[in-house]
Amino acid sequence: MTYTILVCDDDQLIVNSIALHLQKEGYRVIRTYNGLEALEAVEQHEIHLILLDVMMPKLDGLSTTLRIRQEKNIPIIMLSAKSEDTDKIAGLNFGADDYMTKPFNSFELLARVKSQIRRYTTLGSMASKPQCLSTGGLWLDLDTGSVTLDGDLVKLTPTEYKILVYLMKHMGQVLSIHQIYENVWQEVAHAPENTVAVHIRRLREKIEINPKEPKYIKVVWGCGYMVEKIDL
């Protein structure tokens, strides 16, 4: 199967350079140059991953991410010349799955692309038999990749889903931030605290009635996070 990647940046040279590297790896590339063009492409094509610049005319990358997240869980890697932690956290808060600072190494970009596509395309096909994990009113179906809370479907990004799967498969166990990062992102953790914390907070906002007093995902200060087993 040929995977399709949407590349969106207002710098045509950057778009062409990224496209060249991706095409050499066998990916199909759709090129866009602002957020509005990206939204149109998402509606018209089956996209497996999006590489999205932050600063763009007409509609910036953060606003574009918010619009995409209203309907789709396509993995999004944000590209930006800004390297401050606050900028990275903002991108993750808006729904991005990963963040790379320009200029970036093409080999690292390809590795991150492959990792995100691998997770995205394998969701819902982990086993031939239906498998469910549950605690309280929270249900996770490993066969379909769906998550429900008190019977209502919960829309998660691929990264949020992966975190929840890992935590629920180890229900009752405290998992360190490094363990979570290395299992979900499939790379060695280097100062992963902010990245994991942002994704956990977004996940809580979707599955907790009161995220400030979480019922399901508990923090164990100085140790990590855990999902508690709650019997109905």
Per-residue pLDDT tens over the stretch 175-227: 999 999 998 998 887 888 899 999 999 999 999 989 889 999 999 888 899 99
Give the amino acid at 130.
P
Q: Give the count of beta carbons closer than 10 Å to the beta carbon of residue 43.
A: 10
Instruction: Say how far apart CA 38 and CA 6 lie, in whole Å.
Output: 8
User: What pLDDT score was predicted for residue 148?
Assistant: 92
Is 90 exceeded by the pLDDT of residue 91?
A: no
Least confident of 103-107, 154-158, 189-193, 216-220: 189-193
- What is the DSSP secondary-structure string of 95-156? T-SEEEESS--HHHHHHHHHHHHHHHHHTT-S-SS--EEEETTEEEETTTTEEEETTEEE--
Instruction: Say how far apart CA 103 and CA 116 lie, in whole Å.
Output: 20
Is 50 exceeded by the pLDDT of residue 50?
A: yes
Mean pLDDT of the chain: 88
Class of domain 132-227: mainly alpha
Single out the residue of 17, 36, 117 nearest to residue 76, CA to CA: 117
Query: How do residues 3-46 score in pLDDT, each as one tens digit?
Result: 999 999 999 999 999 999 999 999 999 999 999 999 999 988 88
Residues in the chain: 232
Class of domain 4-122: alpha beta
Provide the 3-class DSSP secondary structure of residue 52.
Answer: strand
142 pLDDT band (50/70/90 cuts)? confident
User: What pLDDT score was predicted for residue 232?
Assistant: 58
Cβ(142)–Cβ(127) below 8 Å: yes
- List the chain domain ranges: 4-122, 132-227
